[in-house]
Amino acid sequence: MAKLADLFSPRDMTVGEPWKRILEFSIPMLIGNIAQQLYNTVDSIVIGRYVGDNALAAVGSAMPIYNFLLVFFVAVSTGAGIMVSQYFGAKDREKLSRSIGVCLTLTAVTATMIMIIGPIVVRPMLSFINTPPSILDWCADYLLILLVGNWGFSYFNILSGILRGLGDSLSALVFLLISTVLNIFLDIYFVAGLNMGVPGVALATVIAQVISAILCAIKLKNMHEVFELNLEVMKPQKEYVAQLLRLGLPSGLTQVIFSLAMVTVQSLTNIFGEMVIACNVIVMRVDGFAMMPNFTFGIAMTTFTGQNVGAKKLERVEEG
C-alpha cells in the first residue's frame, strides 16, 4: 500500500537519475494526453454518427474560437507549473502555498469574466469567420454551453498544471481517464439516448470537466504535508501575480498567435461549406495524436527544470 501511495505523491525530481525521473513523469502524462485527444475524437465520432455531417462541421467551426477565448488559461497553467515546481524544488513551503493560492484566485476571476463576456461575443465572432448559416445556431449553442461552463475546463487545466509542477503526473492521468470514460458515456446518453444533438455533446464535456476538476481539487486539498491551502494564501499578492504572468505570458502569447492562425484557417475553410469543414475536423483529430510525444516531453522538461532551478542544481538541468 505504501508503494501505491508513493505513486500518487509529489515526485522530487532533484534527486535520482535524470533520465529515469523524466521518463517516470512522462509516461503517465503521455497516456493522459492521448486520453484527452481521444476525448475530443469521441465527441466527433458520436456527433457525426448520430446527428450528421453538419453537426460535426458545427463542432469543428466552434473549436478555434473556443480555444482562442480560453488561451489565457494556457499561460496561467504554464506559469503555475513552473512557479510551483521551483518552490517545491527549493522546499519553500510558504511561497509554494502562496503561489498555488494566487493561481486559484486568478483562475476564478478569469473564468467568471469569460462566463460573462463569452456569450456576448460568440455570434459576432462566428459571423466574422464566415460560419455557414446552416450551422451557425449549432455552433453558437455549442460555444455558449462550453463558455458558461468553463470553470471545469479552467480549473482542471490549472490544478493538473499544479500537480505536474509537484511532480505528480499520475494523479492527473487517473482523473483524466475517469473524465474521458464519463464523457464517452454522457455523449452517447445525451446524443443517442436523449436526442440532444450538438448541445448534448457540449453538456457532456462540461460535466466531465467539472468532475475531473473536483477530483484534482480534492487531491490538492489533502496534500497538507506539502503546502497550505486556505483563504489567507489565496489573497492575491503583487509579487506572485507578477511572477506568474512573467513565467506564463511567453507561452500564452505563443498560444495566442497559434490560436489566431487557427481562427484564420477556419475562416478560410468555412468558405468551402459544411462538408469540407467536417473533413477538416476529422483530419485535425488524427493529427492531434501525432503531436502528443513532443508536447509531453516539453512539459516533463518544464517540471524537471523548474524543480532543479529551485533547488539550485543547474548541473542536473543540463544533464536533463
In a domain, 292, yes or no: yes
Helices (H), the chain: 2-7, 18-50, 53-69, 72-89, 93-128, 133-148, 150-165, 169-187, 198-221, 238-270, 274-290, 292-310, 314-319
Residue count of the chain: 320
Query: For the chain, how many structural domains are there in total?
Result: 1
Of 1-10, 83-92, 171-180, 211-220, the poorest mean pLDDT is in: 1-10
pLDDT tens, 250-294?
A: 777 777 888 888 889 889 999 998 888 888 888 877 777 777 777
Residue 296 included in any domain:
yes
* Residue 164: per-residue pLDDT: 75
- For residue 58, the model assigns a pLDDT of 87
pLDDT class of 244 with cuts at 50, 70, 90: confident
pLDDT category of residue 123 using cuts at 50, 70 and 90: very high
Neighbours of 272 (CB within 10 A): 13
Residues 143-154 have a mean pLDDT of 89
What lies within 8 Å, CB to CB, of 250 at 6+ separation is none
Is the pLDDT at 2 greater than 50, yes or no?
A: no
Residues 247, 82 contacting (CB under 8 angstroms): yes
> Of 79-83, 206-210, 297-301, where does the model show the most confidence?
206-210
pLDDT score at 4: 43
Task: For residue 17, tell me if it sits in a domain.
Answer: no
Print the domain residue range for 64: 40-319
Rounded distance between C-alpha atoms, residue 287 and residue 281, angstroms: 10
**Is 14 within the bounds of a domain?**
no
Rounded to the nearest 5°, which phi and psi values hold at 192? -80, -40
The candidate with the shortest Cα–Cα distance to 103, out of 83, 121, 88, is: 83
pLDDT in tens, 5-53: 444 456 667 777 877 777 777 777 777 777 777 777 777 788 888 888 8
- Cell numbers that stand for 174 in this block: 487517473
User: What interhelical angle do 93-128 and 150-165 show, nearest 10?
Assistant: 140
Cell of 11: 515526485
DSSP 70: T
Tell me if 18 is assigned to some domain.
Answer: no
Buried b (16+ CB within 10 A) or exposed e, 281-300: beebbeebeeebeeebbebb
Query: For cell 542544481, what's the residue?
Result: 313
Mean pLDDT value across residues 120-138 = 91
Q: What DSSP line would sit under 217-253, residue for residue?
A: HHHHHT-TTT---STTTTS--HHHHHHHHHHHHHHHH
As a whole number of angstroms, the distance between CA 162 and CA 221 comes to 12
The average confidence (pLDDT) of the chain is 81
Q: Is residue 15 part of a domain?
A: no
Query: pLDDT per residue over 68-116, tens digit each?
Result: 888 776 667 777 777 777 787 788 888 888 888 888 888 888 888 888 8
Q: Report phi then psi at 8, rounded to 5.
A: -100, 25
Residue 6 lies in a domain: no
pLDDT at 10: 61
**Lowest mean pLDDT segment, chosen from 62-66, 163-167, 233-237, 278-282:** 163-167
